Amino acid sequence: MAQIKTLTVLGTGVLGSQIAYQAAFSGFEVTAYDVDDQVLEQARARFARLAGIYQAEKVSDAAEGKAEAALKNLRLTADLADAVADADLVIEAVPELLELKRDVYRRLGELAPAKTVFATNSSTLLPSDLKDFTGRPDRFLAIHYANNIWVQNIAEVMGTADTDPAVYDAVVEFARNSGLEPIEIKKEKAGYVLNSLLVPLLNAAAGLLLQGVADPQTIDKTWRIATGAPSGPFQIFDVVGLTTAYNIASASPDAGSQAFAQHLKENYIDQGKLGVATGEGFYKY
């Protein structure tokens, strides 16, 4: 398995734009694909915004020119065949809809050269849910990034039983070469490592609040002081965004999750308090 040098990212939304920009910033030649030219215009604006953030936050040695120069490593196209013609690796970051992703892999499997490795950034699907639609299960796996990847710079790499170990190793190396800390996951697991730890913590915090055991400030303070963590669960909710928290809670059949969804809607979302992004959530910013 040759070293990965060229990357194509499918989907230029919240995560796809960050994945593409981070790789371009690290010196990779990156092609970003999305459905039409109008969406690509929005992608251009996202990339410019990311360059500003990388420069302002001095990500690694982002001297004046480096964040701006990364933009030159990015090519945008709405033609899928053109996008993948020379890709060593394709990372898929299209919406979290099973049938849509399967359809993307069906088309991709026909268009991409035999050498190309496919990787999904899906947060909630397992790569096994998609592998049979790729036409190349041995060259398919998951690489899962966290939002705000210039700060939360991990990449969880998770294969299926069919993934060729040499392909897995090449993707781990790609993650490292693109400035991320690879997290090697040995067995398929919904939620990877990060969300397998984080989701139960957030659910427990929501339970303590709804049962009237303690308020968010007290719960967060307990977690920070007792574990040394920089943030408590309600501070994390504010960063994730309360709309996302609401969507996840309301999709769960569990009665506690439903009650938490209702609590978020009535006390925060209906009043425009969506977390850090809007300046107020459980806390004011």
Q: Residue 215 CB: number of other CB atoms within 10 A?
A: 13
Q: How far does CA 131 lie from the centroid of its chain?
A: 19
| Binder among 8, 26, 122, 160 for ligand NAD (CB under 6 A) | 122
Smallest gap, in angstroms, from Cβ of residue 86 to ligand NAD?
Answer: 18
- Choose, by CB under 6 A, the member of 41, 57, 96, 266 that binds ligand NAD: 96
What is the closest distance, in whole angstroms, from the C-beta atom of residue 186 to ligand NAD in the complex? 20
**Cβ at position 43, least distance to ligand NAD in Å:** 7
Nearer to ligand NAD, 27 or 191 (CB): 191
Contact 155, 183 (CB under 8 A): yes
Work out the angle between the directed axes of helices 233-240 and 216-227 (0-180°, nearest 10): 110
Enter the DSSP assignment of 13. Answer: S
Give the DSSP per-residue string, 175-239.
Answer: HHHTT-EEEEESS--TTTTHHHHHHHHHHHHHHHHHTTS--HHHHHHHHHHHH--SS-HHHHHHH
Instruction: For residue 190, give every residue at least 6 positions away whose Cβ sits within 8 Å of its Cβ, in sequence order, or none.
Output: 124, 126, 196
Nearer to ligand NAD, 107 or 224 (CB): 107
Cβ 49 to ligand NAD shortest distance, Å: 14
Query: Within 10 Å of residue 124's Cβ, how many Cβ atoms?
Result: 12
Bridge partners (DSSP) listed for residue 31:
8, 75
Check residue 203 for interaction with ligand NAD (CB under 6 A): no
Q: Is 121 in the site for ligand NAD (CB under 6 A)?
A: yes
Q: Which residues inside 176-195 make contact with ligand NAD, applying CB under 6 A?
A: none
Give me the residue whose beta carbon is nearest to ligand NAD. 13
Among 52, 95, 165, 200, binds ligand NAD (CB under 6 A): 95
State which amino acid sits at residue 236: I
Question: Interface with ligand NAD includes 204 (CB under 6 A)?
Answer: no
The contact pattern for ligand NAD, residues 50-89, with x = CB under 6 A and - = no contact, is ----------------------------------------
* Spatial distance between the Cα atoms of 153 and 175, rounded to a whole number of angstroms: 10
| Interface pattern 8-47 for ligand NAD (x via CB under 6 A) | --xxxxxxx----------------xxx---x--------
Counting Cα atoms < 13 Å in the Cβ hemisphere of 227 gives 12
CB of 127 to ligand NAD, least distance (A): 12
Long-range contacts of 209-214 (CB under 8 A, 24+ apart): 209/234, 209/260, 209/263, 210/256, 210/259, 210/260, 210/263
Scanning 23-31, 61-69, 140-148, 176-184 for contacts with ligand NAD by CB under 6 A, the matching segment is 140-148
Q: Of 24-32, 92-100, 156-164, 188-196, which part binds ligand NAD (CB under 6 A)? A: 92-100
Q: Which residues here bind ligand NAD, judged by CB under 6 A?
A: 10-16, 33-35, 39, 93-96, 100, 104, 121-123, 144-145, 147
